Amino acid sequence: MSYLTITARDIEALVKAVKLGEEVKPSQQAKRDVFSQYGITGTYKDRVLTAIYYDLWKRIGIIDRVGAEIVGVSNVAILDPWLRAALRVAIELLIFERHLRSSAKDARNLVIKYLKGRVSKLLSEETHPYVGMFFWDLVDKIAQYRFEPSDVIERWELRYLVSRTIIKRLISLVGREETKKILRAFNQVPPISVRVNVLKATVDEVIKELKREGVNPIRGRYVDTVLKFRGPYDFDRSQLYRSGKIVIQDEAAALASILLDPKPGEVVIDMCAAPGGKTEHMGELMRNNGVIHAFDIDPVRIRRMKMLLKRAGISIARIYREDVRKAPKILGEEVADKVLLDAPCTSSGTIAKNHELRWRIQERKIQEMAKLQLELLRTAIKLAKPGGRILYTTCSLFKEENEDVISKILREYEGVIKLVPLRGPMDEGFLPGTMRAWPHKHGTLGFFYALLEKVKSV
């Protein structure tokens, strides 16, 4: 695709997707929604516009610093959301987008024209006429700006597209050379990963259908019902997806339900369930026999979970829009054979696909998450029967959210719970008996697993 074929409408779609990406997580869902609305999904433009969208989120911290300097504010967070989104798109296209920088001058001028025209008009319509006029003047400043890193850390940030907080933490965790490998993995485009719903199809049937669609999947290394392939892939039009025969899920996430091993007829509690990938998977493993009490507080994610479970044919899940810390009062204590706590976390292991996280993770947030994770684990212990098992997982790379949390809970509940050692299929964690999936080693999201067993009542 030549950049001469980018239209004003395409740039407007990018602005809308970036604005929605602040509101809808993960940000790729926002992109899918807007691109579908604009008829971009599945077209010859999809791949390039998707790449621009992801590139923007990858370097959002640097883009926002440049934006603050150009506008003359301390932080772009104080700007109107529409102006902020337009500013980000303009900076990405005119300062950082490598293909556009090397394109013909008339292609660049055309982009400037579209930014001043259609995008300024959009801002005036959505906010105030003065906002559109203000953006018009900013476009010339952006076009003339030249970015140069100011120090070594900023050069690392520009090279690897992650914040100094993440860079320093990873170096302290695994050393400089291993950190480079992780950061390089963060900057590779991950394949699409789906899991076959064995209640509706066999893996071979799905492979055959995907090949008929022109897709060449490979099977997962650790979960044999996972298939991976290169995109783009239009899930909205996919009969496999719409009929519930495949579920979008990373292989590391799919491994969690297998490690917990819920059986048909058991009582299971999924503590932080939405958007429901693991709830659905446990329903499969239970052969849709038993009960899964699924808790979450996010109405949008719960709505997506309900759609997924209906599509997949899982009928044993009872959904509660409640803080799961209330679950012992709602369900009673010591009621569950199995408890899954896929805990809220910084999601630092998912940076390869959730690009906004590259700049959003802060030290304060890590400590807040660790405190919440401990509270949730205490709830999980109340909910589990003696002899019941609890699987604690996060998609974080940081010890504070993983091994440190498990070490603290083992000390606090000594004699009440024990660690059930996990012996593969991935690497042992920094606490013996726990396990980690690493993006650069296993080709998955970064993930942590700890399996606990309740020995006796508290």
Q: Does residue 112 contact residue 27 with C-beta atoms inside 8 Å?
A: no
Task: Give me the catalytic one of 345, 357, 366, 395.
Answer: 395
Q: What is the maximum alpha-carbon separation in the chain?
A: 73
Q: What per-residue confidence (pLDDT) applies to 314?
A: 98
Q: What per-residue confidence (pLDDT) applies to 368?
A: 96
pLDDT by 10s per residue, the chain, length 458 = 444 478 999 999 999 999 999 888 778 889 999 999 999 998 888 988 999 998 999 899 999 999 999 999 999 999 999 999 999 999 999 999 876 654 556 788 889 999 999 999 999 999 999 999 999 999 999 999 998 888 878 888 989 999 999 999 999 999 999 999 999 999 998 999 999 999 999 999 999 999 999 999 999 999 999 999 998 899 989 999 999 999 999 999 999 999 999 999 999 999 999 999 999 999 999 999 999 999 999 999 999 999 999 999 999 999 999 999 999 999 999 999 999 999 999 999 999 988 878 998 999 999 999 999 999 999 999 999 999 999 999 999 999 999 999 999 999 999 999 999 999 999 999 999 999 999 999 999 999 999 999 999 98
Q: What per-residue confidence (pLDDT) applies to 154?
A: 84
The Cα 383–Cα 335 span in angstroms is 6
Q: Does residue 242 contact residue 313 with C-beta atoms inside 8 Å?
A: no
* Range 278-292 burial, b when 16+ CB lie within 10 A, else e: bbbbbbbbbebebbb
Contacts for 42 with CB less than 8 Å, ≥ 6 apart = 232, 234, 237
Structural domains of the chain, ranges and CATH numbers in brackets: 3-144 (1.10.940.10), 152-186 (no CATH), 192-248 (3.30.70.1170), 251-454 (3.40.50.150)
Q: What per-residue confidence (pLDDT) applies to 309?
A: 98
Strand, coil or helix: what is 60? helix
Q: What per-residue confidence (pLDDT) applies to 4?
A: 44
Q: Is 272 a known active-site residue?
A: no
Q: What per-residue confidence (pLDDT) applies to 99?
A: 60
Strand (E) positions, 34-155? none
Q: What per-residue confidence (pLDDT) applies to 2?
A: 44
Contacts for 185 with CB less than 8 Å, ≥ 6 apart = 352, 439, 440
